A = this chain, B = another copy of it.
Amino acid sequence: MQLQRLAIASDQLLPPRLKLTQEQHHYLCRVLRLAAGDRFIAMDGQGHWWLAELETETTQAQLLEELTAQNELPIPVLLLVAMPKGNGMDEIVRQATELGVAGIVPVVSDRTLLQPSPQKLDRWRRIVQEAAEQSERQIIPELFSPLAWTEALSRWHQTNADCYLCEARGSYPPLLQVLSRTDSHSLYPHSPYQSNSVDSSAPIRPIVIATGPEGGWTEPEVKAAIAAGYSPVSLGKRVLRAITAPLAALALVAAALEADITDS
What is A's interface to B at a CB cutoff of 8 Å? 70-72, 91, 95, 98-100, 134-137, 174-177, 180, 235-241, 243-244, 247-248, 251-252, 254-256, 258-261
Contact = CB atoms under 8 A, between A and B. Distances in A.
Q: What 9 pairs between A and B have smallest CB-CB spacing? A: A177-B259, A248-B251, A71-B237, A176-B255, A176-B259, A174-B259, A251-B251, A135-B238, A135-B239
Contacts of A71: 237-238
A179 to B, nearest CB: 9
Given A91-B91, A177-B259, 13 more contacts: A70-B237, A95-B244, A98-B241, A99-B240, A100-B237, A135-B238, A176-B255, A176-B258, A177-B260, A177-B261, A180-B261, A251-B251, A252-B252
A135 B240 contact: yes
Nearest to A243: B95
A174 B261 CA distance: 11
Contacts of A72: 237
Contacts of A241: 98, 134-135
A257 to B, nearest CB: 9
Nearest to A132: B238
Contacts of A251: 235, 247-248, 251-252
A236 B261 contact: no
A244 B246 CA distance: 12
Contacts of A239: 98, 134-136
Contact of A244 (B176, B247, B261): B247
B174 A99 contact: no
Q: Which of A174, A236, A258 has the most CB of B within 10 A?
A: A236
Nearest to A175: B255
Contacts of A100: 236-238
A187 to B, nearest CB: 15
A251 B137 CA distance: 21
A211 to B, nearest CB: 13
Contacts of A136: 238-239
Nearest to A95: B244
B174 A238 contact: no
Contact of A238 (B99, B177, B236): B99
